[in-house]
């Protein structure tokens, strides 16, 4: 799961990032409200852990603005404000869950798993299907009309992004964030290179899917009839 952690306490950030990555999550960290909002609205994450008290923009305003832009990514609020009114305010603003500091990591981990079961999209060993292909996310195995091929880790991550939003134009920045990470030092040309590789893999298994370049915007995976 790719998680965005927006929290200004550096020690807490470091601890949570270490613990979450031990559970095989990918974690991007931001310690500023406005910068956190910029990452949030890219819609590149499976979950956002959001502190209420942040510099430049408080967490509730970050959440409100993201929801106003149609971003539905699940959010767990992290806060020292544990009164009933505070919890109600956070949930009414659009949070999916709420955990009061200080908390045990085991409780946070359980809440993440609970949200994952509700969302039904974070399960491992998932088989994704679209058009004339299937892709096993655990084995990184692509199956098509003419056979099977194993993908590299980066190819697999890229294909998974396209399959989860098949038929939708994805902006370059969104793809880069989802595959390489929001803060990764990666040249945009790398994306074009891996799209080229992915087109070859689709051709190898005999797929008729089109991975189309939308000039000035990004890429679109579609069937030949779309």
Q: Which of 55-59, 121-125, 136-140 has the highest mean pLDDT?
A: 55-59
Tell me how far apart the alpha carbons of residues 64 and 62 are, in angstroms, rounded to a whole number. Answer: 6
DSSP reduced 3-state for 196: helix
**pTM for this one?**
0.61
Return all residues near 40 (Cβ < 8 A) that are at least 6 apart: 4, 6, 48, 62, 66, 71, 73
pLDDT in tens, 147-173: 999 988 889 889 998 998 889 899 888
Torsion of CA 96, 101, 107, 112, to 10 degrees: 30
pLDDT for 120 beyond 70: no
Tell me how far apart the alpha carbons of residues 144 and 203 are, in angstroms, rounded to a whole number. Answer: 9
Tell me how far apart the alpha carbons of residues 17 and 107 are, in angstroms, rounded to a whole number. Answer: 15
Tell me how far apart the alpha carbons of residues 31 and 51 are, in angstroms, rounded to a whole number. Answer: 9
Tell me how far apart the alpha carbons of residues 52 and 115 are, in angstroms, rounded to a whole number. Answer: 19
**Domain ranges across the chain:** 2-119, 127-222
Q: Which helix (H) or strand (E) holds 116?
A: helix 105-119
At 83, give phi and psi (nearest 5°).
Answer: -70, 160
Tell me how far apart the alpha carbons of residues 173 and 171 are, in angstroms, rounded to a whole number. Answer: 6
Closest-CA residue to 163 (of 128, 199, 196): 128
Tell me the CATH number for domain 2-119: 3.40.50.2300
Looking at residue 46, what is its pLDDT? Answer: 85
Q: Domain 127-222 - what CATH class? A: mainly alpha
Task: Give the rounded percent of residues in the chain with a pLDDT score beyond 70.
Answer: 93
The larger pLDDT score, comparing residue 121 to residue 50, is at: 50
């Amino acid at each position: 799961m790719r998680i965005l952690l927006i929290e200004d306490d550096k020690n807490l950030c470091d601890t949570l990032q270490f613990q979450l990555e031990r559970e095989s999550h990918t974690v991007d960290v931001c310690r500023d409200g406005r910068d956190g909002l910029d990452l949030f609205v890219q819609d590149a994450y499976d979950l956002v852990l959001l502190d209420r008290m942040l510099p430049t923009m408080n967490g509730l305003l970050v959440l409100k603005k993201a929801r106003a832009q149609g971003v539905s990514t699940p959010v767990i609020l992290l806060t020292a404000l544990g009164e009933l009114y505070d919890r109600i305010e956070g949930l009414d603003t659009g949070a999916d869950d709420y955990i009061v500091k200080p908390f045990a990591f085991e409780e946070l981990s359980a809440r993440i798993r609970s949200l994952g079961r509700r969302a039904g999209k974070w399960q491992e060993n998932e088989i994704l299907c679209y058009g004339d292909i299937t892709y096993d996310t655990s084995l990184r195995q692509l199956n098509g009309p003419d056979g099977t091929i194993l993908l590299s880790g980066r190819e697999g991550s890229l294909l998974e992004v396209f399959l989860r939003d098949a038929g939708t134009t994805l902006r370059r920045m969104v793809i880069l964030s989802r595959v390489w990470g929001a803060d990764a030092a990666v040249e945009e040309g790398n994306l074009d290179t891996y799209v080229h590789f992915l087109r070859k893999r689709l051709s190898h298994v005999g797929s008729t899917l089109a991975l189309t370049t939308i000039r000035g915007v990004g890429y679109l995976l579609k069937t030949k009839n779309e």
